[in-house]
Chains A and B, each alone.
Chain A
């Protein structure tokens, strides 16, 4: 069954970092790119970046370029997103997906609270 499975919910303190994983059936990622997006409650989707799985090339929006890092582990077909210097504005559901989004992860809630 083709699917993307994300890691569980996270609660973080302001100023810290969070790393969320996304594991896919191997053939989903082969030769393709994987994106990350997030959605705060009641807000639209926000694109966070992508990684080309085979090459490791990445691209991020200018607004987050200093704080976001996307990596991958080819041996486990897993993609990661790490976001640093967290604030309450980073509280959201984080999604991974293929490009375009034929397949999406189930979402991971990241809550930032003191």
Chain B
């Protein structure tokens, strides 16, 4: 099974900051990668799929990049609603999630 490693595990940032979360795959997954945001008590919400395609309705401050084994999620200017847990998921062979990144207010 493909292992997904996210970094950092915890990220402290302020409103207006630009932040980046990294996800590395143990084998190449081409661009079969999704990013999710999860808030307490809620199901995950899709932000990005196919590594860089923004899901409908997701603010443009979110962006994704990468291919093969290394991927990034960038939030261009943090808003109060963005503090949550973020997960990557590969859906190439077959599926697996990263361990999550908690984005907290500094």
Contacts and interface: CB of A to CB of B under 8 A. Distances in A.
Indicate the size class of the contact surface on chain B.
20 to 34
Interface residues of A, number: 20
29 contacts: A35-B91, A35-B95, A44-B97, A44-B98, A44-B99, A44-B100, A45-B38, A45-B97, A47-B89, A47-B95, A50-B94, A50-B95, A59-B94, A62-B1, A95-B44, A97-B43, A97-B44, A99-B91, A100-B34, A100-B46, A100-B50, A100-B89, A100-B91, A101-B34, A101-B36, A101-B46, A102-B49, A105-B43, A106-B43
Contacts of A61: 1, 96
Interface in A80-114: 95, 97, 99-102, 104-107
Interface of A: 35, 37, 44-47, 50, 59, 61-62, 95, 97, 99-102, 104-107
Nearest to B6: A44
